[in-house]
Amino acid sequence: MSPEVLFWVVVAVVVLIVLGTLLLIGGRVRGRRRTAALRRHFGPEYDRVVHAWGGQARGEAELRRRLLRRRELDVRDLDADERERFTGQWAQAQNSFVETPHTGLRAADLVIQQVMRTRGYPVEHFTEREEMISVDHPDLVEHYRAAHESAVADTRDEADTEQLRQAMVDYRYLFEEMIGAGHPESTQRNLPQP
């Protein structure tokens, strides 16, 4: 091999090594940025999902899947009439809770599902509702889970009155956010890129 050919081979190898290193560094930087964006968006839900899915890569893949699924939905704000109607239904659920906590809690759960359905969220399975709430309202998803767990425990007569009361409070947090509490723009979130 001539010195000139050897020179160009060495140059090519060095260029490939430099490009490979730059690509590797770039990938890590993008990964860190994506992780930071997911952490920022999901808050404590990020850590819960990473733990539940057995590691960062699998947990982040699940969170990205949720973001993609949420982008497929046509979620809208409620109009003023819908907010008024649901606010009335919520008041009835709360009044019912005072007299019969079991009935009031079931009514509250149904109102939440009706609001979600009207806005365009999937409502058939709790898991799917929970996942979409974790995307749009990550700060409230734990309240929603806790309320749902208490409601399920109540159906088995395993929840005491204090658990039911706390479940109503937890449902109310989500209800107020879902209807916009008089501020429909508060229900809109900017979703990070998956």
Q: Which residue has the tokens 């209807």?
A: 179
Question: How far, in Å, CA of 79 to CA of 82, rounded?
Answer: 5
pLDDT tens per residue, range 68-84: 999 999 999 999 999 99
- Burial string for 138-160 (b: 16+ CB within 10 Å, else e) reads bebbbbbbbbbebbeebeeeebe
Question: How far, in Å, CA of 138 to CA of 13, rounded?
Answer: 48
pLDDT tens per residue, range 168-180: 999 999 999 999 8
Task: Output the pTM of the full model.
Answer: 0.77
What pLDDT, on a 0 to 100 scale, did the predictor assign at position 185? Answer: 45
What does DSSP assign to residue 190?
A: P
What pLDDT, on a 0 to 100 scale, did the predictor assign at position 110? Answer: 95
| Residue 190 falls in which region: left (phi positive, over 0), alpha (psi -120 to 50) or beta | beta
pLDDT tens per residue, range 101-137: 999 999 999 999 999 999 999 989 999 999 999 999 9
pLDDT of 49 > 60? The answer is yes
Q: Is 16 exposed, middle or buried (0-12, 13-18, 19+ CB in 10 A)?
A: exposed
Of 12-16, 36-40, 99-103, 175-179, which gets the smallest average pLDDT?
12-16
Domain ranges of the chain: 3-72, 80-187
pLDDT of 40 > 80? The answer is yes
What pLDDT, on a 0 to 100 scale, did the predictor assign at position 187? Answer: 45
